[in-house]
Amino acid sequence: MPEGTAPAAERADSAVPTTAVVAPPGSPEPAGAPGGPAAPGLSATRSEVAFHGERSGRAPLTWGQRAIWHAIRRTAPNDHYFNIGRVLPLADRGRPATVPEALSALARLMERHESLRTRLLLSPQGGEPGQILTDAGTLSVTITRAAGLPEAAAGAEVLLGRLSATRFDYSAQWPVRVALVTVCDRVTHVVLVLCHLAADGHAAEILVRDLRLLVRRGSAGRPPATTPLDLARDQHAAAGRRRGAAALAHWEAGYRAAPPTMFPDPRAEPRSPRFWTGRIVSPALARAVGAVAAAHRVSGSTVLLTASAALVAAGEGHRTAAVMPIVGNRTTGALRDLVSTLSQDGLFVLDLADAAAPTEPSGLGDAVDSTGTAGFPEPSGLPEAAGLPEASGLAEASGLAEPSGRAEAAGGPGPVTGGREPTFTDLLPAAYRAALRGYRAAVYDPVEWDALGERLSAEYGTDVHPYCCFNDMRLVERVLPAGPPATPQELAEARRRTVFGFPATQDRVACRYCLHVTEEGDALAVSLTADTAYLPPEAIRAHLYALEELVVASAAGAPPPLTGLRTLLETAGGDRP
């Protein structure tokens, strides 16, 4: 058994049974409990669910946990921003569960996944924290009652918002909050809110799947192949540290090839609150992304990442873009079903002068995305081992040296084969390879990553950080329907259904440009949270409409020239709402 891990059978509390202890009917929800009072039209009680896992122990934080902990510290006290919420409907098919059945399933979920029984272990000397796993305890569950299914569904969404709106006490509270919504003593919905130290978006989906299986079948199958404690010990061992050092070599190469930051100069007085989120929901974009991806044999995620990078570079006058995609890091079988925070930032560096016009299909192989769930095929010609770029041929220490013969930033990329002006889709072969390198170099120690940034910032005399993030939160990409691709007229008609708005503002986010991709029905939903000192609200709107126009035009057979992207940002959206 690994050092620092104690089996439950060796402790005096090992006889605690796995039961669901339900509070007496009518017991009020304690004042100040996360989520506050019940949603309108719902009454609430609370129950304590006892659980008993197999072991306890201590370990350093995994690198994914360290990464999110550093982000939490930079964002506090607004770190509830990182909470992850899910609603599990139980009345949509099959018979709804009883309250005792749901509580018993929650107990087994706590026992199955060690991350749900793991809390932050703060260092008394103020150093890097660790994690402490507890074998046994109780979880407080809110139980609400609704008059009918419509009220239950609405109440679940209200509870989700309320439970998500409060930051966790990372060292004192379990990293999960749960509420049950019932109709006539049957559970119709389970609301889960997770601390990001315990789970990322993929892990949240694993928990929803396992909880559904535990409720319906009483079992979720074989347990995960590894645990967060074991992963932490592996990463902090000598072999893990060598892998991390190889990844950071890619980061240093990328930093030296790109401008120090994507958004160097404020352009407006910041609004209050300072950070605004714009959101576009576009059926046309969903169809267009799939069509462009299929035509160029890349993933839809690569299409969107490339589009956002190219627009940022054009808007800020850079020839080279540096974007930090969130990478799932679930490329091995042992990690596919692990509930933990594995995602970390990758580094995607794209020189717009690398646009090429192949005369035949690129032959890039299977499409990839940043979720890390499908593995990463190796295109021919890429370095082996860690899949990292060679260090030779980097720009000089300033990070701004232009190789001879390349077009200047103001003029954009030069002509491609045959004198044709390069277009957006000409970037996709190079972008695919750059994304693959970035995905493979996204597992590293954030402490060493911070040290690299500090060293380069001191060397350059300015802050070195892209402050430009991309997060494709879809677990899978929707398969294009059979048949011919959408015509330009069909895409134009679909664009009439595009909806845009500013759904949220925040006081503090540790970035200047954060693009998130999700799905909403048959549409793609793309949100951009930005620092209004660098991207005022009108620029946020322009970036999102330009992203849609760039990809839709490419799918319609008229990809915009790279030299026209700045103009596209100035005109995109027009009089559209």
Cα 420 from chain centroid (whole Å): 37
Q: What was the pLDDT predicted at 201?
A: 92
Tokens of 295: 């035509």
**DSSP symbol at 513:** E
Q: Which whole number is the average pLDDT over 91-104?
A: 88
Segment of 25-34, 125-134, 240-249 carrying the highest mean pLDDT:
240-249
Average pLDDT (292-320) is 96
Band (419; pLDDT cuts 50, 70, 90): low
Q: Is the pLDDT of residue 516 over 80?
A: yes
**Cα-flanking dihedrals φ and ψ of residue 75, to 5°?**
-100, -20
**pLDDT of residue 47 exceeding 90:** yes
Least confident of 10-24, 61-75, 526-540: 10-24
Among 239-243, 360-364, 515-519, 520-524, the minimum mean pLDDT is found in 360-364
pLDDT at position 163 is: 97
Is the whole model's pTM more than 0.85, yes or no?
Answer: no
pLDDT of residue 485: 83
The pLDDT tens digits for 322-381 are: 999 999 999 888 999 999 999 999 999 999 998 864 444 443 433 334 444 333 332 322
pLDDT of residue 83: 97
Q: How confident is the model at residue 510 (pLDDT cuts 50, 70, 90)?
A: confident
Q: Could you tell me if 368 and 439 are in contact, meaning their C-beta atoms sit under 8 angstroms apart?
A: yes
pLDDT confidence band for 267 (50 / 70 / 90): very high
Rounded-to-integer distance, Cα 470 and Cα 475, Å: 15
**What is the pLDDT, as a whole number, of residue 39?**
60
**Banded pLDDT at 93 (limits 50, 70, 90):** confident
- The pLDDT value recorded for residue 41 is 61
H/E stretch holding 119: strand 118-121
Least confident of 35-49, 110-124, 174-188, 223-237: 35-49
pLDDT over threshold 50, residue 101? yes
Note the pLDDT of residue 435: 97
3 state SS for 424-473 = HHHHHHHHHHHHHHHHHCCCCCHHHHHHHHHHHHHHHCCCCCCCCEEEEC
Tokens 């404020």 belong to: 266
Query: Residue 104: pLDDT band by 50, 70, 90 thresholds?
Result: very high
Comparing C-alpha atoms, which of 431, 429, 426, 446 is closest to residue 321? 431
Q: How confident is the model at residue 383 (pLDDT cuts 50, 70, 90)?
A: very low
Indicate if the pLDDT at residue 457 is higher than 60: yes
* pLDDT attached to residue 418: 56
Q: Please list the residues that pair with 139 across neighbouring strands.
A: 49
